[in-house]
Structure 1
């Protein structure tokens, strides 16, 4: 599933933007890095569970960033509907 991330045209990387997409009911799938700090991802993870959005856990922030086609680490990413 991670291979297709960078090919997605409707991809948001970053916790603030991802949380906004969830709250606006625009998110299809949420990706969370397992090594992201809990206080950073707790709110977005709770919001996704509340809205019954699929959550996929990435091995690390570095791998999630790379899967998104960026050269920096990413705690979260969202594929939009």
Structure 2
């Protein structure tokens, strides 16, 4: 279901660094984080999302999340924009 949200979203940001930047700009509706991603990578994203009150969806696979974004590699975090 969350993969569908990502693939159907009008505007997304892919990657942890870009997601953090978007969160700081207060332009994120919700984030999607892959459960199999390195927690060291996703910790800053999830912490900031919690501080900002942004919903966090967790999916099983980085590879599937990347595919839902239309890229050939895995994605640890994706922001669905407002």
Distance across 2 between alignment mates of 1:62 and 1:34: 11
Q: Which runs of 5+ in 1 are unaligned?
A: none
Counterpart Cα distance in 1 of 2:78 and 2:65:
8
Q: What TM-score results when the alignment is normalised by the length of structure 2? A: 0.92
Q: What is the alpha-carbon distance in structure 2 between the residues aligned to residue 32 and residue 4 of structure 1?
A: 13
Structure 1 residue aligned with 2:21? 20
| C-alpha separation in 2, matches of 1:56 and 1:4 | 10
Runs of 4 or more consecutive aligned structure 1 residues displaced over 6 Å after TM superposition: none
The aligned length equals 81
> Please, what is the CA RMSD of the aligned residues?
1.0
Using the TM superposition, give the Cα deviation of residue 7 of structure 1 relative to its aligned residue in structure 2, in angstroms. Answer: 2.9
Residues 19-47 of structure 1, C-alpha deviation per residue, up to 9 Å, x if partnerless? 00001100001000001101111111100
Give the Cα separation in 1 of the matches to 2:70 and 2:5.
10
Query: Structure 2: which 5+ runs fail to align?
Result: none
